[in-house]
Amino acid sequence: MKKLTVIAILLALAGASGEVWSCTTFLMSGKHTPDGRPLLFKNRDTGTLDNALVYFTDGKYDYIGIVDSKESWKREVWGGLNSAGFAIMNTAAYNNNTGDTTKLSDREGEVMKMALATCATLADFEKMLTGMPKPIGVDANFGVIDAHGGAAYYETGNFGFKKIDANDPAIAPFGLLIRTNHSFTGNPEVGFGYIRYAAASEALNTALAQKELDPQYIINNLSRNLNHSLTKINLRENLPASADDATFTYFEDYIPRPSTASVMLVVGAAKGEDPANAMMWTLTGFPLTTVAVPVWVSAGREMPAVVSMKDNLHAPLCDAGMALKRRLFPIKRGSGPKYLNVAMLLNRENTGILQKLAPVENEIFIRTAQLVTTMPPKGKQQKEMILEHYKWIDSYIIQSYRELFGLEVR
């Protein structure tokens, strides 16, 4: 009986771990995108739900990174883009170190920070991993793109890595690779995220077939994907009548989850293009209650204030998103935090939180597209235009959240 109890506890802990670190990611070679620019996407799940953007100048390359809003933020980065057009992200894998008793672990954020500070190419990253003292202290799928046509996952354990190349037609005939919380080269019976992997595969293959690979489509159809691949429940169907028609559903194993803290989508520079053209869309906070904001490393330290870390270590938009998230998950006792009130998110009166935010975000995408088509590829004028766009974004988001929800994004 005691042995069974211990096993049950271990399984519960494994389940909790998989639940907390449940990122969903993909990358795509520029050879298969309409404009030749590679894509790198991460829907981040973590136990630290307050995230912010920081501009770093502590390495060979300047870089923008997603960080946890806590005192250790300077040591770890959970995805980002640097001035060389190099971008990186990760998912926890859980099956690269099977049988390994190494105690050193959870160094993925340190590895990504080091890579952003020092790497310009996939070759640089491979050299960095190879040269690091072993054990590295990771069990991860690192997704990487660069400004030279590179795009690959590195399924990495404590003592080595295996490269999965998005430019290899035998592996990725359409240049697309997806990873959740298991490595394909690891033990197939171990890991997490298989249900989310199926949902992401369906959404992305549909996007490929329809040639819908623009950032707005990707963010809405991945970060806000409300299709459950196992139960076939689609929360966008059979909507409640109004926001007052409380309708609760168990919200697990969708791509967005109660543990989702941020989203990044890097649109890299095409091969031969100036790395200054690479940019990153971010949802700094819960994706069902925040809006996408674009940033460029080439614009320098100043970023939109709504997504930047303040003196209190928080980003204002993330805080506002958390306030709205509490309206979606109002039950705090027992398992209540896992139950979403769908009526507050979406309803037939079109007064749900996500429905109110849709036109706000749409305007940001429209104006950003106009900016991208008119600004020069690099230089002082490009920076000035981006900074002016940032000012508009801050003002527009602050005004929108105040008018729509009575929240101050400051």
* 62, 116, 359, 379 from 58: Cα distances, Å: 7, 10, 38, 22
Is the pLDDT at 159 greater than 60? The verdict is: yes
Token digits of residue 183: 């490595």
- How far apart CA 286 and CA 47 sit, in angstroms, is 13
How many structural domains comprise the chain? Answer: 1
Name 39's Cβ contacts closer than 8 Å, sequence gap at least 6: 26, 27, 28, 33, 145, 213, 218, 265, 266, 267, 268
Beta strands in 253-315 (DSSP E): 260-267, 279-284, 293-295
Q: pLDDT at position 188, please? A: 83
Q: pLDDT at position 38, please? A: 98
Is the pLDDT at 4 greater than 90? The verdict is: no
Q: pLDDT at position 250, please? A: 97
Q: pLDDT at position 17, please? A: 37
Quick: pLDDT tens for 26-75.
Answer: 999 999 999 999 999 999 999 999 999 999 999 999 999 999 999 999 99
Cβ–Cβ under 8 Å, residues 217 and 33: no
Token digits of residue 205: 């293959």
Cβ–Cβ under 8 Å, residues 60 and 117: yes
Name 210's Cβ contacts closer than 8 Å, sequence gap at least 6: none
Q: Look up tokens 């920070």; give the residue.
A: 113
**9 belongs to a structural domain:** no
Name 19's Cβ contacts closer than 8 Å, sequence gap at least 6: 192, 252, 257, 259
Cβ–Cβ under 8 Å, residues 80 and 88: yes
**271 belongs to a structural domain:** yes
Angle, alpha carbons 259-73-215 (nearest 5°): 55
Is the pLDDT at 246 greater than 80? The verdict is: yes
* Phi, psi at 391, each rounded to 5°: -60, -40
Q: What is the DSSP letter of 74?
A: G
- How far apart CA 226 and CA 238 sit, in angstroms, is 13
Q: Look up tokens 């057009």; give the residue.
A: 85
Name 7's Cβ contacts closer than 8 Å, sequence gap at least 6: none
* 168, 196, 276, 282 from 146: Cα distances, Å: 16, 26, 12, 19
Nearest to 371 by CA among 307, 306, 279: 279
CATH code, domain carrying 173? 3.60.60.10
**286 belongs to a structural domain:** yes
Is the pLDDT at 8 greater than 70? The verdict is: no
Q: Which domain holds residue 360?
A: 22-405
**410 belongs to a structural domain:** no
Q: pLDDT at position 189, please? A: 85
**305 belongs to a structural domain:** yes
- How far apart CA 186 and CA 189 sit, in angstroms, is 9
**267 belongs to a structural domain:** yes
Quick: pLDDT tens for 277-313.
Answer: 999 999 999 999 999 999 999 999 999 999 999 999 9
pTM of the predicted model as reported, rounded to 2 decimal places: 0.94
* 147, 201, 307, 335, 336 from 339: Cα distances, Å: 42, 25, 27, 8, 5
Q: Where does the pLDDT of residue 21 fall: very low under 50, low under 70, confident under 90, or very high at 90 and above?
A: low
**14 belongs to a structural domain:** no
- How far apart CA 341 and CA 50 sit, in angstroms, is 21
Q: pLDDT at position 163, please? A: 98
**99 belongs to a structural domain:** yes
Please give the mean pLDDT across all residues of the chain. 94
